[in-house]
Amino acid sequence: MTAHIAIFVFPDFGHFNPSLQIARHLVRRGHRVTYVIDEAYRTAVTSAGAALAGYRSVRRRLSAGSHVQSAEIADLGLDILADANTRVIPAARAAFEHDRPDLIAYDFESFVPARILAREWGCRTLQYFPYVASNDHYSLHADTMDPDSDYVHKGVEEIMRILAEVEPDPAAMWAMMAVSDRHNLVFLPRELQPRGDTFDEKFTFLGHCLPDEPPAVTWAAPDDDVPVALISMGTESNERTGMFQLCADAFADKSWHVVMTLGRGNALDAGVSAVNVEAHEWLPHLAVLPRASVFVTHGGMGSLVEALYHGCPVVVVPHTPENAVNARRVHELGIGRYLPASNLDPATLRAAVDELTADPQTLARVAAMSAAMRAGGGAAEGADVIERILMD
């Protein structure tokens, strides 16, 4: 049977890109896919053969400070809820009024509109995690937020206010706020998941969710005998003052070739000056990582999965509390280094890179993680899970 699948996504490339690979598989199998996401993603959505139920998000971007605090993430959460209530739900209702989906797939940031509309339309659901997953034994939100803080209570109250409009029963309302669903996809291997052994059959770990095809943009190192360092501070907030120059200074002896992706809209010079530094507004990391010996990154899970899949060790300079969770996990598993931005300097960064890339035990652990990722079913298995739910 063919079906109509709606995908609700928080408008951030780290959330969107992995889901797009599953959408491609579903479209190839004859299913119809409709994304509910900001209009800015229209070109990428249509290139995969999917439709768009678009809206214009007004949520804020994270600040460019060296480290974002949990309270700022909570404020962003309130923006997400406002978008959900005033933009996402109306756009979805209009788009699906005469064309109901058979299944709604959604990330946690989209659970409010996704679960409200699934309840309203009586359709199946699936939650996916483009970052570490949560269950009754491990909670990413508890790892990044103080549950007794005013900002957490304010967020919960706002969620309950929105849900109360469709579900007045408090017990049922709390059930709608669960951290997971009956069916869940996790876009990383169980080996990378904190407390991975506690996740039951409701969770399918895909290993990765990378594209099957090589990137359309090609890249080649200028010298096969010189090691390559890839440096990126993510897509959400990559204006961290002085970070790129600090990284350039760390490799000032010119014994490495450095590739930096600065983020779309950032000036190509970005204050960076070094003859061995190649700076791009944007370049697919998957074009560089097969040749890279180290990846200096903010620690978003998408970046970590891409690097580790290619057997590239990572140095994580986290920007958000979630990035810090990932950095701690990388350190705990011995597959990279965690360097807080607050006391980082070029010498410290370079020492971490040299130690990491010269340690055979670390490189062996990175290779083992790469093998675990490659052993997973990836996006194709994600599409398989959705088809099984539809046939259930």
Tell me, letter by letter, the H, E, C secondary structure of the chain.
Answer: CCCEEEEECCCCHHHHHHHHHHHHHHHHCCCEEEEEEEHHHHHHHHHCCCEEEEECCCCCCCCCCCCCCHHHHHHHHHHHHHHHHHHHHHHHHHHCCCCCCCEEEEEHHHHHHHHHHHHHHCCEEEEEECCCCCCCCCCHHHHHCCCCCHHHHHHHHHHHHHHHCCCCCHHHHHHHCCCCCCCEEECCCHHHCCCHHHCCCCEEECCCCCCCCCCCCCCCCCCCCCCEEEEECCCCCCCCCCHHHHHHHHCCCCCCEEEEECCCCCCCCCCCCCCCEEEECCCCHHHHCCCEEEEEECCCHHHHHHHHHCCCCEEECCCCHHHHHHHHHHHHHCCEEECCHHHCCHHHHHHHHHHHHHCHHHHHHHHHHHHHHHHCCHHHHHHHHHHHHHHC
pLDDT (0 to 100) of residue 163: 83
* Mean pLDDT by groups of 10 residues along the chain of 392 residues: 94 92 97 97 96 87 56 67 87 96 96 94 97 95 82 79 82 87 98 98 97 91 95 70 87 95 68 80 94 97 97 95 95 97 94 97 98 97 98 89
Q: Looking at residue 267, what is its pLDDT?
A: 56
pLDDT recorded at residue 85? 83
Q: According to the model, what pLDDT value does residue 147 have?
A: 76
Q: What is the pTM of this model?
A: 0.92
- At residue 91, the pLDDT reads 96
